[in-house]
Each structure stands twice: as C-alpha cells, then as structure tokens.
Structure 1
Amino acid sequence: MAKLVKNPSIQSNIHDKITAKTGDEKVEVSEENVHGMPYLRAVVLEGLRKHPPGHFVLPQKAMEDMEVGGYLIPKGATVNFMVAEISRDEQEWAKPMEFIPKRFLPDGDSEGVDVTGSKGIRMMPFGVKRRICVGLNFAMHHLEYFVANMVREFK
C-alpha cells in the first residue's frame, strides 16, 4: 500500500480498473470481482517482488559436494537463499529498485514470471518447487482482495 501511496498514477490506474469492473455503487469489492483483473494481479506481484513476506526461505543442507556458479558447496553445508536480493538482481530485472507493475502485464518484460519456480526462478516470495508454501494460492487471492478493497475505500 505504501508503494501505491508513493505512486499516485499507479494508484489512480488501479482504482479506475477496479471501479470499471465493479461499478461505483458497490460498497466492497467481492472476492469474485478480483478474478480477471490483470493489473491488480500485476500490482500485487510487483509488491511481492519488492517486499517478499520473508527475506529468507527455510535453509537447506547440501547432500553432496557441488559447484554452483563457480563456488564449491561442501556436503553438509547449510545453504540459504536471500529472497529479497533475488528480486533486486539487475541482470534479471530492468530497474529493479523501481515499483513498476506493468512489468507483469502481457506486454511487460516480466510477463509469464512464475512465482512457483517451474519456469525458472526470478523471484520466490513463497519459496519454489517442492518446498513452496502450500498457502500460495490462498495468499495471492487474499492479497488481491485486500489491495482492491483498500484502494477502492481509500483512494
């Protein structure tokens, strides 16, 4: 929400899209209304990219010696991933420190970014692959619902 307050044009854009979908007379955006709102989803994904729920995932142990990116990770070493830093990598993201929801729309440079890690890992706010948070879909739905209602109520 702070990113929307600091970016009034983005906030206005999402507000306009919400009211176009729900109409001006509705008091609350329903859970059904948030489906099929790609810009709302883009705002939520960009928020998660910039501010993941946790800055680390659960640590893992290397089961055998392995080399990753030219570094030796010895068997038994504890490995952790800095989730927030992955989303700030300038090799993966254009202008990574800026709040740009358009990057998650069909014509954006991050279209198709998969938060589950099945198509590659560019961001992982809920972990990835086998160890992904089981509440991912629940969380995404409620984040979209929450953001839509907050923007509608407090534009």
Structure 2
Amino acid sequence: MSRTPYSRLRIEGFRKAEVSLRLEEMDPSGTPLYESIKARIISGELTYEQGRSEILAYYTKADTAGPATVGEMLVEEFLKPLSMSHDELAESMGICKQDIEDIICGLRRLTDDEARVLADIFGTDEDFWCNLQVLQDRPEQRRK
C-alpha cells in the first residue's frame, strides 16, 4: 500500500503525539480508545493535537471530573487510609462534627486557620489545603 506525502505527515504527527504523551508519563498504547484515535489521526479525521487532547481528557477526566475537592481529598487520601472518623478529625481540629461534614460535602469553605490545623495533623503543607480550596472555588465562580 502506497502512502501519500500527506498520510506520511499524519503518521509523523501521530508519532510526535505519542512521544509527548510518554514524556508526560502517560502511555495508553493498546487501549481501545488509543487505537481508535490513532486510526482517526492516520485517516485524517483528526489532527494529532485533537487526538492528544481526547486522550488527555479521557485519562485525566478533565472534561467531566473537575478538580478534587477538599472533602474528597480529606476522605480518600487521609481519613480512610488512617481509619480516622469524622468525629476524630473534628476533635483533633477543635471544631464540631457538623463543620467537618459541611467541609467534606462542600457546603462550606475551609478557612485558612483550618488549613493550618489540617497541615499540622496530617504533616502536609498549609498551601496544599488552601490551593485545593481555591481550585474547588473556581468552578463556582464561573457559574455566577
């Protein structure tokens, strides 16, 4: 099968996209999504930038998931692994259980003081918690 110069350019573009993904430590080779996008790039249906964006969106869930919330991070990365209850966290922080529940459910913001306390409790950086809150706030600001 003879390849036209244009199809060779598309294949070369696809190879660039593959290298870029590998540099970002993402190698989806062999997955059905990846192979489908590869075929669409080679056929000319997509540019390699479009294909790369589709792959990144799928693997990072950037198109639907949004950033992790303070509550999700607290529960999944700290409370569950440490087998720590909401009551225990509230007591450690010196706040009521309802405040913890509200933070976890996203009904109230994490204050700077609470970010400092969480950093002390879990041995993290205070900015970690503040940045999570800022990221969580952004989608709400866009809706207004």
Structure 2 length normalisation: TM-score? 0.29
Higher normalized helix content (fraction of residues)? 2
Structure 1 length normalisation: TM-score? 0.27
Higher normalized strand content (fraction of residues)? 1
Q: Which has the larger radius of gyration?
A: 2
Larger RCO, structures 1/2 (Cα 8 Å, 6+ apart): 1
